[in-house]
């Protein structure tokens, strides 16, 4: 469904992605894990068209995304839950959800989806008229996910949904991701929290300083000694002694 081939991108003269290749098949949950500065967010920004690709290709359902503007990419069915949630803080919860469906022209269906989203996340109904900025971090994350789902995406991309959330909220957010997976949603999940991400994902890639250093099924990555040491916090003693 989504295929990146030796993609290169960066800011100014600084290269961040030094040629990464990965793919996401329909119905799959794929995670991209890595530390700070590995290029995870840059990858999502480049796919979304917020950042120009220098070299390589991004193909989504036969469309070449490297030449398309962000607003066109969105209409193809890619939705992004940005890093740090980024809800529209001064707008109401309902308006935030409506904006998620901005590019859709099927007004009746949008209204139905809005109702459905409120049924699914009662919080979004209770706080319908509150400014989104008054919600807690975890609530904002749920709103950001709901907003992205309002686009009826064919591929949902999430940028560190666990960032800055209390552990209880992290498990709640991941519960939602598990439900989305069960419903057949295709997801590309970028995370630093490898433990949580590998639990929900089918496959994963490990990104380090702009290169993919490891790829495999989630189970393979969980069992990989290098991943365990670097991202899962296991085996410190053995390595250090």
Partner 1 sequence: MVAYLLHLTIIAGIYIILSVSLNLIIGYAGQVSLGHAAFYGIGAYTSALVALNWHFPYPAAALSAMLVAGVCGLALGLPTLRLKEDYLAIVTLGFGVIMDLVFLNLDITGGPDGLPGIPTPHFFGINFQIPRHYLVLVAVAVGFTLILTQRLVDSYHGRALRAIRDHEITAQVMGINTPAYKVFIFTLAAGLAGLAGSLYAHYITFINPESFGLHTSILILAMVVLGGMGSIGGSVLGAVLLTLLPELLREARGYQDLIYGGLLVALLILRPEGILGRGKLSLKFLKKEG
What's the min distance (Å) between Cβ of 230 and partner 1? 28
Residue of the chain from 8, 70, 172, 228 that contacts partner 1 (CB under 8 A): 70
CA distance 37 to 235: 24
Q: Interacting stretch for partner 1, rule CB under 8 A, among 69-77, 174-182, 212-220, 232-240?
A: 69-77
What's the min distance (Å) between Cβ of 126 and partner 1? 22
Residue 163: how many CB atoms within 10 A of its CB?
A: 15
Query: How is residue 93 written in tokens?
Result: 């919860």
User: Which residue shows structure tokens 């971090």?
Assistant: 137
Q: Please spell the DSSP secondary structure of 189-234, one letter per residue.
A: EEES-HHHHHHH-SEEEEEETTEEEEEEEHHHHHH-HHHHHHHS--
Based on CB atoms, which residue is closest to partner 1, 148 or 198? 148
Q: Does 22 bind partner 1 (CB under 8 A)?
A: no
Own/partner contacts of 163-172, CB < 8 Å, gap of 24 or more, are 163/83, 163/84, 163/192, 164/84, 164/137, 165/137, 165/138, 165/141, 166/137, 166/138, 168/138, 169/136, 169/137, 169/138, 169/141, 170/196, 171/196, 172/138, 172/142
Q: Does 130 bind partner 1 (CB under 8 A)?
A: no
Q: Does 68 bind partner 1 (CB under 8 A)?
A: no
Based on CB atoms, which residue is closest to partner 1, 144 or 212? 144
What's the min distance (Å) between Cβ of 64 and partner 1? 18
Q: Does 80 bind partner 1 (CB under 8 A)?
A: yes
Count interface residues toward partner 1 (CB under 8 A): 23
Q: Does 47 bind partner 1 (CB under 8 A)?
A: no
Based on CB atoms, which residue is closest to partner 1, 32 or 97? 97
CA distance 166 to 105: 37
Q: Does 61 bind partner 1 (CB under 8 A)?
A: no
Tell me the angle at which helices 93-100 and 137-149 cross, rounded to the nearest 10 degrees: 30
- Among positions 141-160, residues that touch partner 1 (CB under 8 A) are 147, 151
Q: Interacting stretch for partner 1, rule CB under 8 A, among 10-18, 34-42, 98-106, 184-192?
A: 98-106
Footprint of partner 1 (CB under 8 A): 48, 50, 69-71, 74-75, 79-80, 82, 86, 88-91, 95, 98-100, 102-103, 147, 151
């Amino acid at each position: 469904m989504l295929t990146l081939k030796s993609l290169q991108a960066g800011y100014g003269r600084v290269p961040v992605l030094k040629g990464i290749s990965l793919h996401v098949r329909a119905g799959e949950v794929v995670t991209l894990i890595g530390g700070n500065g590995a290029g995870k967010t840059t990858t999502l920004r480049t796919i979304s068209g917020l950042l120009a690709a220098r070299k390589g290709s991004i193909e989504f359902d036969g469309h070449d995304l490297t030449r398309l503007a962000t607003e066109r990419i969105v209409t193809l069915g890619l939705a992004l839950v940005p890093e740090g949630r980024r809800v529209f803080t001064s707008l109401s919860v309902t308006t935030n959800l409506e904006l998620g469906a901005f590019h859709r022209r099927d007004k009746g269906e949008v209204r139905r989806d809005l109702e459905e989203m409120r049924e699914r996340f009662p919080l979004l109904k209770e706080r319908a008229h509150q400014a989104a900025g008054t919600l807690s971090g975890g609530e904002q994350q749920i709103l950001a996910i709901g907003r992205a789902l309002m686009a009826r995406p064919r591929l949902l991309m999430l940028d560190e949904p666990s960032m800055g959330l209390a552990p209880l909220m992290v498990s709640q957010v991941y519960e939602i991701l598990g439900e989305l997976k069960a419903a057949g949603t295709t997801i590309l999940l970028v995370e630093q929290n490898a433990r949580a991400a590998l639990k929900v994902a089918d496959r994963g890639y490990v990104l380090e300083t702009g290169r993919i250093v490891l790829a495999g099924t989630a189970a393979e990555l969980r069992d990989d000694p290098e991943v365990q040491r670097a991202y899962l916090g296991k085996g410190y003693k053995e390595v250090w002694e």
